[in-house]
Amino acid sequence: MTYRSWPILLFALILVPVSGGDALAQKRDDAARKHAWECSKKQIEFERTLGTLRQYPDAEIRFYLANKSGTKPDYPVCYNRRERLKRESEIAQWRQSNFPECRAVFREREAKLDRDAKERGRPRKSIQQQISEYNEACSHTMAGTL
């Protein structure tokens, strides 16, 4: 090996990865990201089919500013909660019944949200828990129960 070939050898060592394992790991990560993105796109498309969420604007803020703590919520607050819960339960059912190849992505995403909420000291409630709380709080209004 001559003195002149050293720079070429060093340059080649820098450009060529040391092992193929790094490249394979990168390809797997890219494929997983692409798969997660495809699943997210499918969910976004489904949510679009549900249409816009109909709600009373600023109902919660108005209610909490006008009432004391512990007061049962009024109709607009209950209506908004009911519409959100109905939408969330439809999305959850769609996740479970459609696209089995995406279920792992959705479960992982939910688990991350649960861990983050737990770290902040405010654990998330399941949809069933939220529905039972809604039914208890809003059964007295015309919004009814779920």
The domain locations on the chain are 21-138
Would you state the pLDDT for residue 14? 54
Q: How many of the other CB atoms lie within 10 Å of CB of 106?
A: 19
pLDDT for residue 70: 87
The H or E element spanning position 129 is helix 127-138
Give the tokens for residue 25.
């790991």
pLDDT at residue 10, as a whole number? 47
Chunk the chain into consecutive blocks of 10 residues (it has 146) and report each block's average pLDDT, rounded to whole numbers.
53 52 78 91 95 93 93 95 96 92 93 94 93 93 85
> Against a cut of 0.95, is the pTM above it?
no
User: How many Cα neighbours within 13 Å face the side chain of 10?
Assistant: 5
Check residue 23 and give its pLDDT: 74
**Alpha helices of 50-102 — where are they, by DSSP H?**
59-66, 75-97
pLDDT at residue number 99: 87
Whole-number pLDDT of residue 60? 93
